[in-house]
Structure 1
Amino acid sequence: MRSFLLATIGVVLASPTALADGLSLAGSLWQCTRASDRSQFVITFYPGGGVGGGELENDEVSPYIFDASETKPGEWPGRWEQMGLRFTWSFPDQSIRIEGSLSGPGQANARLTGTETSSVERSAVTCTALSKLPKIGDGLVIPKNNHFIDLDQEDGELKVPAGVSLQAPGGR
Structure 2
Amino acid sequence: MIVLGLTGSIGMGKSTTARMFAEAGVPVHDSDEAVHRLYAGEAAPLVEAVFPGTVVDGVVDRTRLAKRVLGDPAAIRKLEGLIHPLVRRDADAFLETHRRAGAALVVLDIPLLFETGGRSRVDKVVVVTAPPEIQRERVLARPGMTEEKFGAILAKQVPDGEKRRAADFIIDTGSGMEAARSAVREIISELTGDN
TM-score by length of 1: 0.26
By relative contact order (CA 8 Å, sep 6+), the higher-ranking structure is 2
Q: Where is the strand percentage greater, Structure 1 or Structure 2?
A: 1
The structure with more radius of gyration: 2
